[in-house]
Copies of this chain bind each other. A is one copy, B any other.
Amino acid sequence: MVKLIDGWQVARTLNAQTQVRVARLRKQAIVPGLAVVLVGHDQASERYVRMKEKKAQSLGIYSVLKQLPADSTQEDVLQTVTALNQDPRITAILVQAPLPPQLDATQVFGAIDPAKDVDGFHPENVGKLYLNLPGHYPVACTPRGIMTLLAANQVPLQGANVVVLGKSAIVGKPLAALLLNAGATVAVLHSQTKERRSFLSAADVVISAVGQAHLLTDADFQPHTIVIDVGQNLDENGRLVGDVDYSEAAVNIEQITPVPGGVGPMTIATLMQQTVEMSEWSK
């Protein structure tokens, strides 16, 4: 029997903790403030942004949406970011990706004050993570959420063989850094990898962040593998599925995050966690 790793449950617990922390700050007249910058009308982005706003408000976080037209100039976006950097009510800034093609995303993300960079995308925060520096700094929310999920399910990482599929700057690479910092042996596989078998056959934990339905099946894993599925794909029938096909009869997968209901809820819960932490850190 495959055990499902329940992301909703861990996210609920985390959100409850965040709510308590917000209340504690509010007693000291400190209100965490999250600003989301949305450029254009990408449907998925609009949906995510609404979810983030709603969740923030429900936890007592002050929330602002800065919506800019799709044809905004670099100047427009940078001015918005600069104004938010200087706004004392805002402690956390998130620029929703992807940005329209006329914009230089690197420059936009780099313009966010590192102390308000709630997504952990600023080079300075990325560098601190890779250097495993002590002290407080934000980390990309999906990878951090995955680490919380693994910890909540008592998955041992020290000395474990972990395979990460995907080398994006948002998931694969920061995840590899977090796992190395936790003492795991880490192999990062991606679209140019010539064969996955030798890696998967030695893996204790496999984290797939490729975004391709039917990429892996139970037969690809060794017995007792723990699988974290970061994929969010629409299959042939328009159903939301992850990267991994499995059934209750799977013999190799020991635990897996379902899609939906696994990693997804953890990303937003971690964003909220980090929003309140950034308020605490800047006290």
Task: Select one of B123, B130, B159, B199 contacting A169, CB under 8 A.
Answer: B130
Interface string of A168-180 (1 = CB under 8 A from B): 0100011011001
Complex interface: chain B residues within 8 A of A249 (CB): none
A133 on interface, CB distance cutoff 8 Å:
yes
Query: Which of A20-28, A72-80, A181-189, A264-272 lies at the interface?
Result: A181-189
Question: What is the CB-to-nearest-CB distance from A140 to chain B, in angstroms, rounded to a whole number?
Answer: 11
Give bound CA distance, A122 to B122, whole Å.
13
Residue of B nearest to A196 (CB): B185
| Most B C-beta atoms less than 10 A away, residue of A121, A169, A186 | A186
Interface string of A106-147 (1 = CB under 8 A from B): 100000000000000111111110111110000000000000
| Most B C-beta atoms less than 10 A away, residue of A131, A183, A195 | A131
Q: Are B123 and A177 in contact (CB under 8 A)?
A: no
Chain A residues near B (Cβ < 8 Å):
106, 121-128, 130-134, 158-159, 161, 167, 169, 173-174, 176-177, 180, 183-190, 192-195, 198-199, 201-202
